[in-house]
Amino acid sequence: MSESGYNKALGAVRLTATFGFIAVLVAFSRPRPVEVTVGFIIAAMGEGIRFWAAGHLLKTKELITSGPYRYTRNPLYLGRLLILTGLCIMCRLPYYANWILLVVGYLIFLGYYMPRKERIEPARLRSVHGEDYERYFKAVPALIPNFRPYAHASNLGWSSDRMFRNREAWMVIGILAITVFLLRRSHQMPPRPEVTPLATPPAAAPAPSGS
| DSSP per residue, 14-45 | HHHHHHHHHHHHHHT----HHHHHHHHHHHHH
**What's the distance, Cα to Cα, between the start and end of the chain in Å?**
108
Average pLDDT over residues 51-72: 91
3-class SS letters over 145-202: CCCCCCCCCCCCCCCHHHHHHCCHHHHHHHHHHHHHHHHHHHHHCCCCCCCCCCCCCC
Looking at residue 195, its pLDDT comes to 42
Band of residue 183 on the pLDDT scale cut at 50, 70, 90? very high
Share of the chain above pLDDT 70, in %: 84
| pLDDT at 181 > cutoff 80 | yes
* Residue ranges per structural domain of the chain: 16-188
Q: What is 87-103 written as a DSSP string? A: HHHHS--GGGHHHHHHH
Mean pLDDT of 109-113: 92
Who wins on pLDDT, 164 or 13? Answer: 164
Packing angle between helix 97-108 and helix 75-90, nearest 10 degrees?
Answer: 170
| Closest by Cα among 174, 172, 195, 191 to 33 | 191
| Rounded CA separation 103/98 (Å) | 9
Task: State the pLDDT at residue 45.
Answer: 98
Domain spanning 16-188, CATH architecture: Up-down Bundle (1.20)
Among residues 161, 144, 160, 157, the alpha carbon closest in space to that of 67 is found at 157
Residues 129-147: tens digit of each pLDDT: 999 999 999 999 999 999 8
pLDDT of residue 202 exceeding 70: no
The lowest-confidence range among 45-49, 69-73, 154-158 is 154-158
CB atoms within 10 A of CB 192: 7
| Least confidently predicted of 132-141, 175-184, 192-201 | 192-201
Determine the pLDDT at residue 148: 92
